[in-house]
């Protein structure tokens, strides 16, 4: 699950990549200075021949089209227009992804389209589901325990604390590596990386082929990041700044967790508490990560302002260069039953050793 929440964000990133790949392929077909907005359709005004586009860069943009504007549908993964099908503006739907060629309009955040390249939401959904299935079928995840620069191999610990095993990852020269940004949980902000960027303790998710005995794995794609899970109590909430000051119960240090719009804040349902309790106890080491993710996602969503000083929480976050700060991926409230010592006088459980895989929201397969 540490990369399952990552899985949902990965799907959004994948859609972005598909469009950007197409954009790169079109670069040779148009002047390099021509702007090409890319994003998701949020509104269509057929009578006014206008599309409202939520760009990947952030702001919305008004796209004006005309009778001569070409609308072309391409399959996800296309790098050129060789297989494009001519469509009409009426074939365009909200939530389709588009790339627009044309020129800037006369007003701010406006654009006049000569061509609109479309990847339909239905085609993207099918592609994403196929990729999701392939990552689940041919994927592996774990924590890096050893690195060998000479052989370009890394060893990971796969599985939970009671059934973990070592697997050697072979990274070929053609393997695609990406790494999460320390200040963003969006996979679309992950950058291309190299073997040298990997560090002991990193969590990785890879897709490729496992050896017959399961001890080795040949990597085609790999995503890495530095994450942290811990139990804490809320010290202070600053909704305006989007920050949460908490006291790490194990380290006895104060941490500032930065909460982003994409951060996942939930108050656990009884079903989620029960499932996590079984996972912590080791009773369900083989528990399906997607099932656990679904159960957590079914718990009520909460806002930052609903967290109160003194309330216990479990936090999963992206480490930054400062150990006293992190970017929150998942914040779980309603965790009191999980934090009770197993026996009288015992220390509170160490969340970091549980391998709860709460970083589902950062997005990979």
From the list 43, 44, 8, 39, the residue with the least C-alpha distance to 22 is: 39
What was the pLDDT predicted at 33? 46
Q: CATH number of the domain at 9-119, out of 3.10.150.10, 2.40.110.10, 3.30.1360.200, 2.40.50.320? A: 2.40.50.320
Distances (CA, A) of 221 to 9, 99, 174, 197, 204: 16, 26, 9, 15, 10
CATH superfamily, region 227-362 = Nucleic acid-binding proteins (2.40.50.140)
- Residue 200, pLDDT above cutoff 70: yes
- Residue 198, pLDDT above cutoff 70: yes
Report d(CA 360, CA 294) in Å as an integer: 10
DSSP notation for 125-183:
HHHHHHHHHHHHHHEEEEEEEEEETTTTEEEEEES-TTS-EEEEEEEEEEEEEEE--TT
Q: Is 59 exposed, middle or buried (0-12, 13-18, 19+ CB in 10 A)?
A: exposed
Report d(CA 271, CA 101) in Å as an integer: 50
* Predicted confidence band of residue 163 (pLDDT cuts 50, 70, 90): low
Report d(CA 359, CA 109) in Å as an integer: 35
Q: Which range among 19-23, 28-32, 273-277 has the greatest average pLDDT?
A: 273-277
* Predicted confidence band of residue 162 (pLDDT cuts 50, 70, 90): low
Q: Please check whether the two domains, 139-225 and 227-362, share a CATH topology.
A: yes
User: 139-225 has which fold?
Assistant: OB fold (Dihydrolipoamide Acetyltransferase, E2P) (2.40.50)
| Mean local confidence (pLDDT), 61-78 | 93
In this prediction the pTM is: 0.65
What was the pLDDT predicted at 161? 55
Report d(CA 184, CA 207) in Å as an integer: 23
What was the pLDDT predicted at 10? 44
What are the pLDDT digits (tens) for 226-256? 888 888 999 999 999 999 999 998 889 999 9
Domain ranges across the chain: 9-119, 139-225, 227-362
What are the pLDDT digits (tens) for 22-41? 444 444 444 444 568 999 99
| Mean local confidence (pLDDT), 38-67 | 93
């Amino acid at each position: 699950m540490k990369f399952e929440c990552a899985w949902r964000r990965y799907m959004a990133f994948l859609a972005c990549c598909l469009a950007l790949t197409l954009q790169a392929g079109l670069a040779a077909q148009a002047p390099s200075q021509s702007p090409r907005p890319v994003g998701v359709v949020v509104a269509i005004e057929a009578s006014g021949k206008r599309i409202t586009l939520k760009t990947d860069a952030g702001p919305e943009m008004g796209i004006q089209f005309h009778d001569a504007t070409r609308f072309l549908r391409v399959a996800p993964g296309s790098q050129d227009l060789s297989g494009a099908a001519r469509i009409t503006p009426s074939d365009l739907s909200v939530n389709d992804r588009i790339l627009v060629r044309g020129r800037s309009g006369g007003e701010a955040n406006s654009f006049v389209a000569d061509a609109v390249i479309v990847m339909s939401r239905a085609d993207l959904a099918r592609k994403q589901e196929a990729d999701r299935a392939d990552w689940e079928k041919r994927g592996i995840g774990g924590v890096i325990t050893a690195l060998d620069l000479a052989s370009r191999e890394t060893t990971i610990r796969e599985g939970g604390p009671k059934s973990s095993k070592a697997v050697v990852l072979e990274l070929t020269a053609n393997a695609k590596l990406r790494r999460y940004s320390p200040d963003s949980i969006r996979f679309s902000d992950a950058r291309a990386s190299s073997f040298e960027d990997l560090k002991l303790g990193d969590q990785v998710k890879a897709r490729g082929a496992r050896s017959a005995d399961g001890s080795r794995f040949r990597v085609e794609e790999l995503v890495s990041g530095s994450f942290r899970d811990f139990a804490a109590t809320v010290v202070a909430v600053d909704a305006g700044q989007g920050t949460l000051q908490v006291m790490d119960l194990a380290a006895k240090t104060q941490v500032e967790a930065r909460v982003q719009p994409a951060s996942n804040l939930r108050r656990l349902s009884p079903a989620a508490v029960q499932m996590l309790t079984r996972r912590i106890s080791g009773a369900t080491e083989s528990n399906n990560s997607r099932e656990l993710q679904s159960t957590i996602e079914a718990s009520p969503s909460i806002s930052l302002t609903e967290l109160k000083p003194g309330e216990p929480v479990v936090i999963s976050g992206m480490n930054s260069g400062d150990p006293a700060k992190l970017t929150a991926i998942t914040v779980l409230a309603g965790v009191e039953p999980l934090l009770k010592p197993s026996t009288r006088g015992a220390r509170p459980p160490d969340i970091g050793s549980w391998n709860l895989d709460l970083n589902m929201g950062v997005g990979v397969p």
